[in-house]
Each structure stands twice: as structure tokens, then as C-alpha cells.
Amino acid sequence: MDDIDDVFVARLMTSELHTVTPDTLVEDAAAVLLDNDISSALVVDDDGALVGILTTTDFVDIVAKSQPKAETTVERYMTRDPITAGAQDSVSAVAATMVEHGFHHVPVIDGDEPIGIITTSDFAAYVSSPETVSP
């Protein structure tokens, strides 16, 4: 396995993104997560800029604090201005940040637009994959 300090976020991140907007209803956002078997959706504004993240953990709050079927929007429950990473950041630095804050998802941005997401599952997949040999 490569020295972890030489591995960049771009290598581990998922680039197939599922996004919602702040005015998406929470039940519609829940359907996005369930239909795609994912644990988070990035929240973007009309220009495609990252404004927040909504994770499966947020749905515990939604059920506890509201009528789940009430017409509540994502904006009320999303984490605003999430901590982000760049594609060329070291995965060890991002992993340390995730451990420090107890995060499971870190959006990867280029400028202010999301280009990927790195999650605890991505780290598990990396650790469990057979060693890759560089040509």
C-alpha cells in the first residue's frame, strides 16, 4: 500500500454526487438518499455552490423534532458551511479532521462547487483493497 501521506483525496473520493437544494422537502431528500443507497446529499444553491450537507444522521433530528411528513425543507436541518477538502489534500489530513470532529462525510470542492465527497466508507474501501502496484 502507498504511504498514506502520498495519497490524495481525488483518489478515494466519490465523484458521482447527489445534490438537493435548501428548499427541497426533507421527504424528497430522504428519497434521494434511499433511492441511491447513499448516506448524504450535498446541498447546493441555484449556482451550484455548496451551501450545506444533509446526512442520514440528520434524519434522526428530523423525526425527533418535527412531524416527519410536515412540509419541512432541507435548509432547516442541513449542516451549513461544512468543512471541506480539496482534491489534492492528503487523505491522512482529511482523516484526522474527520476523527477530530466526528464527521463521516467531507465534501470535496473546487472553488465553491462540489466535485466529490469522501466518506468513512471510502477509507474502509481503501484500507481493504489489495495493494495497487504503480507501473
Total domains in the chain come to: 1
Q: Bigger pLDDT: 4 or 44?
A: 44
Is residue 2 situated within a structural domain? no
Residue 9 pLDDT more than 90? yes
Instruction: Tell whether 69 is covered by a domain.
Output: yes
Give the mean model confidence (pLDDT) for residues 11-21.
95
Mean pLDDT of the chain: 90
Q: Give me the CATH number covering residue 26.
A: 3.10.580.10
- pLDDT of 133 reads 44
**At residue 85, does pLDDT exceed 80?**
yes
The count of other CB atoms within 10 Å of the CB of residue 58 is 22
List the one residue out of 113, 44, 112, 116 whose CA is nearest residue 87: 116
Residue 102 pLDDT = 94
Cα angle value 111/115/120 (rounded, 5°): 115
- Is 33 within the bounds of a domain? yes
Query: Is 4 inside a domain boundary?
Result: no
62 occurs within a structural domain: yes
Domain limits for position 17: 9-128
For the whole model, what pTM was predicted?
0.87
Give the per-residue pLDDT at 67.
67
Q: 67 lies in a domain?
A: yes
Is 6's pLDDT higher than 50? yes
